[in-house]
């Protein structure tokens, strides 16, 4: 209408759309990280040569069918939490973010390789110095060069629903061997597994899909 002053435009057109889009992106990211994939930072060499210190790995939460030889990321509360000397082998999904925005990382999430599943008897060492599962020595091509399969002798029966796990860099890894006398015996409940690493995404020089390694061993007799 004549004489009606023009309406003042917003100094930032579409700001409501930008805020809504940002919130939606955060919600989608949270959903994906909670149910599908997450990114974890490796702060030590306990899983070398598979993972080096500083690697970022993509972890899938979808496949929970766990076999001997699988690498798993798990919540160690109730099984690994007693490890307190330096916690050099802890991995946590917040560690990488913490380096950028100051978040505090958790010290109860770990990455290890599954050596024994429920019903297995895991022991070391065979006459040839190998780890044995159900009385048979296993080949471990993933071990850190120069490391023995174990410098600690052990024998343990793995209860159903639990996992015996060890690091690939055995000489620096605190794992199930370290906690045989602790509550839970260092054996991880399967329902504490968060997921399985599927790829290294950083650094680019190491980026790539991870290959699965399944260890074969005879099934423990129910009569033993």
Which residues are catalytically annotated?
A: 46, 112
What are the tokens at 200?
A: 């290294």
Q: Is the C-alpha dihedral spanning 210, 211, 212, 213 positive or negative?
A: negative
The Cα 39–Cα 58 span in angstroms is 5
Q: Is the C-alpha dihedral spanning 132, 66, 27, 57 positive or negative?
A: positive
The Cα 173–Cα 83 span in angstroms is 11
The Cα 120–Cα 164 span in angstroms is 9
Say if residues 136 and 108 touch (Cβ distance below 8 Å).
no
């Amino acid at each position: 209408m004549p004489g009606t002053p023009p309406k003042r435009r917003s100094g930032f057109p579409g700001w409501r759309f930008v805020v809504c889009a940002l919130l939606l992106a955060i919600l989608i990211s949270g959903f994906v990280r909670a149910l599908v994939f997450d990114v974890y930072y490796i702060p030590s060499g306990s899983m070398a040569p598979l993972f080096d210190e500083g690697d970022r790995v993509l972890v899938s939460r979808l496949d929970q069918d766990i076999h001997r030889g699988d690498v798993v990321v798990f919540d160690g509360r109730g099984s690994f939490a007693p490890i307190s000397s330096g916690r050099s082998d802890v991995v946590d999904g917040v560690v990488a973010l913490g380096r950028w925005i100051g978040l505090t990382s958790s010290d109860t999430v770990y990455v290890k390789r599954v050596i024994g599943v429920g019903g297995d008897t895991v022991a070391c060492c065979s006459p040839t110095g190998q780890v044995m599962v159900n009385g048979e020595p296993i080949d471990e091509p993933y071990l850190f060069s120069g490391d023995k399969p174990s410098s600690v002798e052990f024998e343990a029966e793995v209860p159903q629903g639990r996992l015996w796990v060890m690091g690939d860099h055995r000489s620096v890894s605190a794992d199930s061997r370290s906690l045989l006398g602790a509550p839970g015996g260092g054996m991880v409940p399967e329902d504490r597994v968060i997921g399985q690493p599927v790829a290294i995404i950083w650094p680019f020089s190491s980026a790539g899909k991870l290959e699965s390694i399944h260890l074969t061993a005879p099934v423990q007799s129910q009569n033993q």
